[in-house]
Amino acid sequence: MLQLNHIPRILLALTAAYFLTSLGHFSHNAEFICEYPNLPAWLTRAQVYAVWAAITSVGVVGLLLMRKKYMATGLLLMAVYAAMGFDGLGHYALAPIEFHPWIANATILSEVAAAALLLPVVLWMLASHVLHLESGTQQP
């Protein structure tokens, strides 16, 4: 069983929220790909799911590294994972917000909001960890 006792609950909660909103956005994008304006014609449902799996694997590896007490590397990967949550805003580079169905906007913006909550917490934890290492104090 996966033991995450030494990983702060706030990080786990925000990661779960981002995971779920990301899954919601990518699932909607994959299943209703024709409703997203100006997406490339070559983009397929399977490719959308594959990208989601690749992005999610970054977060999973980050958590696993943290579990193994490779905190700095794990937190760095978690920061990358959270930063990728802003990729949905790229939809608005292809077409203005008003051209997207309301549910597409809801899934895009909820994913971005969850990433915006997760990223600063991860960066704060990473900075705190590095500062503790540099000062020579122990940190769990």
H-only helix segments in 1-101 = 9-31, 45-67, 71-83, 91-94
**Residue 18, domain extent:** 9-135
2 is a domain residue: no
140 is a domain residue: no
35 is a domain residue: yes
62 is a domain residue: yes
76 is a domain residue: yes
pLDDT tens for residues 1-28? 345 567 899 999 999 999 999 999 999 9
pLDDT tens for residues 60-103? 999 999 999 999 999 999 999 999 999 999 999 999 999 999 99
pLDDT tens for residues 99-128? 999 999 999 999 999 999 999 999 999 999
120 is a domain residue: yes
Taking alpha carbons only, the member of 113, 121, 126 closest to residue 11 is: 121
